[in-house]
Amino acid sequence: MSNKLIVFYSRADENYVNGEIKRLDTGNTEIAAGIIQKLTGADLFKIEQVHAYAKDYNQCIAQAQADQKREARPELKEYPKSLDRYDTIYLGFPNYWSTMPMAVFTFLEHFDFSGKIIKPFCTHEGSGMGSSESDIKRLCPHADLKKGLAIRGGSVERAKEEIEKWISEEKK
């Protein structure tokens, strides 16, 4: 049993990658979460909405943007029973308009992260971490928020060294 947990939201199907829409069997953030898991031995938990966004990229964008504009908190399929045994939470998500998908907000508001270390990582196509770190700090004011890692979605499969360096920074 690990004292580290990787919590991530990821989307397969049609995605915007390197300037074009491509169909992905596995979402970029899930690939990054898998790399982190191999490097740390942390447990994995995937955030999934009860009502998933459309597989079509443009429909998904419209749905996700509407949720963000109205600050929706989509219902999730499930949650971990408890986060008590975890000291460190790696929190992964794609960057949606400069922050996290609203389902990640739902997850963060469900638990008390007091005393936990949160290490955010996101996949993006040019917008980096955006305001996600300040949003996490606002939602989890008593957590120890570490510097996040922004990974270009189109190069996530080649990001092992970058991820390794980011993980090793926590040990300093």
17 vs 76: CA distance, rounded Å:
26
Return the domain boundaries, the chain: 4-169
Judged against a pLDDT cut of 90, whether residue 126 lies above it is answered with: no
pLDDT tens track for 86-113: 999 999 999 999 999 999 999 999 999 9
Please enumerate in sequence order all residues whose Cβ is within 8 A of that of 172, keeping only pairs 6 or more positions apart, or say none.
Answer: none
Residues 6+ apart with CB under 8 A from 164: 39
Class of the CATH-defined domain 4-169: alpha beta
Q: What is the percentage of the chain residues whose pLDDT exceeds 70?
A: 98
pLDDT value for 169 = 84
- Arithmetic mean of pLDDT over the chain: 95
What is the pLDDT confidence band of residue 170, given thresholds at 50, 70 and 90?
low
With b for 16 or more beta-carbon neighbours within 10 A and e for fewer, the 34-71 pattern comes to bbbbeebebbbbbbebeeebeeebeebbebbeebbeee
Rounded to two decimals, what is the model's pTM? 0.96
pLDDT level of residue 2 (50, 70, 90 thresholds): confident
